[in-house]
Amino acid sequence: MSSVPPALRFAHLAMEFPGVKALDDVSFSVEAGSIHALMGENGAGKSTLLKILSGAYQPSAGQVAIAGQVRPPASTATVLQAGVAVIYQELHLVPEMSVAENIYLGNLPHRRGWINRHALAQAARRQLARIGESIEPDVKVRQLPLAQRQMVEIAKALSRGARILAFDEPTSSLSDREVQRLFTIIRDLRADGCAILYVSHRMEEVFALCDRLTILRDGHHVTTCALATITRDDVVQKMVGRTLENVFQYTPRALKGPGLSVHGIAGPGLTAPCTWAAQAGEIFGCFGLVGAGRSELLRLIFGATRKTAGSISVGGRPVTVHSPRDAIAAGIVLCPEDRKKEGIIPGRSVLENINLSARRRTARGGVLINENWERTNAEARISQLRVRTPSAQQLIRHLSGGNQQKVILGRWLSENVKVILLDEPTRGIDIGAKSEVYAIMQTLARAGVCVIMVSSEIPEVLGVADRIAVMRSGQIAAVLERAEANAEILLRLALPVENSPPP
């Protein structure tokens, strides 16, 4: 090591939240003039680390050192003065103010309180020119496309003299061309001697752009190395902690007769009637791009949206479903995609969330809560699904995403389930919980439940499902056997056909 201290050093950082260690003894350095990637699964601690860097969180233990100087407990304002800027996914700009005002927000050039508009525009133009942008400084930020807003954010950081820039998934909503442009700017910043911390889960980008790499897993530091010395497979394995086949745990199962069949079902979000049948004991995958109508199809089956045509049968017997209540009575249940908005009651306990539906069956006379049953049932689901919670009385909003998902699964396992509809069941949950969710799906299927899983992650569908329906522009494009499906076929079927009108 050279004698020059690193631009940025994290030393033994730890961050504890009630019941969770988000970071545990994390140490690594970012050198000036380098682009340092930070990778890890959801929940690995990347966001927490960035929030400590930006001064939004104070670490429970450990230090942040900038150019060798240990930083005192910082606020977001003092961090900016120390030359550190964190550029988040959701940009922190004021949409109704001009580009120039945003760049100099809190720092506007003025004379006795009167803003010097001319000087402001000049200065903003100069800052933008530094990163090769020619946005008019008087335009309101609201009118800019996202990629340009990001440029404004970078110009804002540079105008404060930032020498350490952290980017949090900066390319998540950019087009390829915009990504290339952003990379050019980041490389220029590196040439300029800035230290860049680049948080991303996109392997291609990291290998194309970065010099060094740090991997976090479950709040722990796994490795820091030069990218030239590591392969992609190694990165995945270090992030995941195991190989992918183990995650899915697929074993063939015996099918047990008719499960869910939908016939000519139509309604909002679908462009053509859908007909297919899944067997009891089968895991039936449903793949498609965003907007292909997958969630809409599940909502129609579940009665959450009123269908305009078609029929459903469960176990070979036709059922009438006009509402979620009807669906639940027929043994069809849904774990929705957006857990926070549609799944959990955030302000209520784990126990309440588990018993939300089944209490209707178990209440005395249908009115009085059966508290004994509810307590026993909640405890049983918590241990059956290994929900990590201090007690059944814990508010569900304090649980991690994976554990919230398990509580919702527990809600439905308290019912007499014949068909379970899972909409992106592993979105936003960490890898350990993911593999547990897959295991639960297999167990359910083996017990004769018909499992329908909607997913937009190709490896997940390929790894878990027995058969895969591919949806495209609001209709079923094809239904594939496990053996005949691969990533390329799925994508080809899912992409909208050329020259077809947009859905």
Partner 1 sequence: MLPSSSSPPTASTSRGVGVVLWLDQAGMLLVLAILFTGCALGVDNFLSWVNLRGLALSVSMTGMVACTMLFCLAAGDFDLSIGSVVACAGVIAAVVMNRTQSITLGVLSALLLGAVVGFTNGFIVAKLKINALITTLATMQIVRGCALIICGGTAVGIQLEPFFALGNSSILGLPTPVWITIACFVIFSLVLNRTVFGRDTLAVGGNAEAAHLAGIPVARVKMAIFTLQGIMAALAGIVLASKYTSGQPNALTAFELDVISACVLGGVSLTGGVGSMAFVIAGVLIMGIVQNAMNLLNVDSFYQYVARGGILLIAVLFDRWKRRHPAN
Q: Does 179 bind partner 1 (CB under 8 A)?
A: no
Report how many residues bind partner 1 under the rule CB under 8 A: 49
CB of 9 to partner 1, least distance (A): 21
DSSP for 460-496, please give it: HHHHH-SEEEEEETTEEEEEEEGGG--HHHHHHHHSP
Q: Does 157 bind partner 1 (CB under 8 A)?
A: no
- Amino acid code (one letter) for 186: I
Q: Does 341 bind partner 1 (CB under 8 A)?
A: yes
Three-class secondary structure of residue 13 per DSSP: strand
CB of 183 to partner 1, least distance (A): 29
CB nearer partner 1, residue 153 or residue 423: 423
Q: Does 73 bind partner 1 (CB under 8 A)?
A: yes
Candidate residues 98, 400, 405, 473; the one interacting with partner 1 per rule CB under 8 A: 400
In angstroms, the CA 165 to CA 162 distance is 7
CB of 495 to partner 1, least distance (A): 31
Question: Nearest Cα to 428, choosing from 450, 395, 455, 410?
Answer: 455
- Amino acid code (one letter) for 446: R
CB 37 within 8 Å of CB 167: no
In angstroms, the CA 268 to CA 300 distance is 8
CB nearer partner 1, residue 129 or residue 345: 345
Q: Does 72 bind partner 1 (CB under 8 A)?
A: no
Q: Does 22 bind partner 1 (CB under 8 A)?
A: yes
Q: Does 163 bind partner 1 (CB under 8 A)?
A: no
Q: Does 168 bind partner 1 (CB under 8 A)?
A: no
Residues 470-489, one symbol each (x = binds partner 1 by CB under 8 A, - = not), give --------------------
CB 202 within 8 Å of CB 172: no
Residues 410-429, one symbol each (x = binds partner 1 by CB under 8 A, - = not), give -x------------------
| Binding positions for partner 1, 356-395, rule CB under 8 A | 356-357, 359-360, 363, 366-369, 371
Q: Does 137 bind partner 1 (CB under 8 A)?
A: no
Candidate residues 11, 20, 139, 489; the one interacting with partner 1 per rule CB under 8 A: 20
Pairing assessment for the beta strands 258-266 and 61-66 based on DSSP bridges: unpaired
| Binding positions for partner 1, 261-320, rule CB under 8 A | 302, 304
| Binding positions for partner 1, 35-54, rule CB under 8 A | 42-43, 47-48
In angstroms, the CA 449 to CA 420 distance is 7
Token code pair at residue 46:
């990347």
Q: Does 340 bind partner 1 (CB under 8 A)?
A: yes
CB of 479 to partner 1, least distance (A): 26
Q: Could you say which DSSP state residue 303 is in?
A: T
Q: Does 352 bind partner 1 (CB under 8 A)?
A: yes
Q: Could you say which DSSP state residue 349 is in?
A: B
In angstroms, the CA 475 to CA 472 distance is 6
Three-class secondary structure of residue 312 per DSSP: strand
SS (H, E, C) 117-156: HHHHHHHHHHHHHHCCCCCCCCCEHHHCCHHHHHHHHHHH
In angstroms, the CA 121 to CA 138 distance is 7
Token code pair at residue 437:
């969710």
CB nearer partner 1, residue 242 or residue 348: 348
CB of 265 to partner 1, least distance (A): 18
Q: Does 343 bind partner 1 (CB under 8 A)?
A: yes
CB nearer partner 1, residue 232 or residue 340: 340
Question: Nearest Cα to 77, choosing from 160, 200, 163, 201?
Answer: 160
Which residues sit at the interface with partner 1, rule CB under 8 A?
Answer: 17-20, 22, 42-43, 47-48, 56-58, 73, 302, 304, 324-325, 327-328, 334, 336, 340-348, 352, 356-357, 359-360, 363, 366-369, 371, 397-402, 411, 430
